[in-house]
């Protein structure tokens, strides 16, 4: 991985840069992450807030209560709705960047899963399933 690393939303209206390596990369299976990602989990890239900077645009956010009792703020692009990062009142010194918003997520190495009690059995890569290089039938 090279530092700094950058990312942004789908339409390009919001861009960010992070000037340090992440503290950790993880999968979160909580209900809120599943709902906001539209899939089985969120892949989070945990960074210190002071290493994160917005380059262009201004994300909007909405707050939701977490199962932990903390308030989680989800930041997204107001134009395309692309999810960018989350922050939690329980850890105000950090942000969790949505891995899908990175320009190059190929270097990610998740170290664990959180809220695995909420994990869906169909959401984990499992044994005998068909794999396609591109779309179905390609």
Q: What is the pTM of this model?
A: 0.86
- Residue 128, both tokens: 């005998």
Neighbours of 41 (CB within 10 A): 23
Domains of the chain with bracketed CATH: 5-120 (2.170.150.70)
- Residue 97, both tokens: 């960047």
Q: Cα dist. 92→46, 73, 112, 124, 136 in Å?
A: 12, 11, 21, 30, 42
The continuous run of DSSP H or E covering 28 comes out as strand 24-28
Whether residue 131 has pLDDT greater than 70: no
Nearest to 79 by CA among 8, 6, 9: 9
Whether residue 85 has pLDDT greater than 80: yes
Whether residue 135 has pLDDT greater than 80: no
* pLDDT at residue 32, as a whole number: 84
Q: How far apart are CA 13 and CA 57, in angstroms?
A: 6
Average pLDDT over the chain, rounded to an integer: 88
């Amino acid at each position: 991985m090279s530092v700094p690393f950058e990312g942004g939303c789908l339409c390009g209206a919001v861009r960010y840069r992070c000037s340090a390596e992440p503290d950790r990369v993880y999968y979160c299976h909580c209900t809120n992450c599943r709902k906001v990602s539209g899939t089985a989990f969120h892949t989070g890239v945990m960074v210190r807030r002071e290493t994160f900077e917005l380059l262009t645009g201004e994300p909007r956010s909405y707050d939701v209560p977490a199962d932990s009792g903390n308030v989680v703020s989800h930041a997204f692009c107001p134009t395309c709705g692309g999810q960018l990062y989350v922050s939690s009142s329980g850890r105000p010194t950090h942000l969790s960047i949505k891995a899908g918003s990175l320009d190059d997520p190929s270097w990610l190495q998740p170290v664990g899963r959180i809220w695995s009690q909420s994990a869906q059995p169909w959401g984990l890569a499992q044994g005998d399933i068909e794999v396609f290089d591109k779309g179905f039938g390609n």
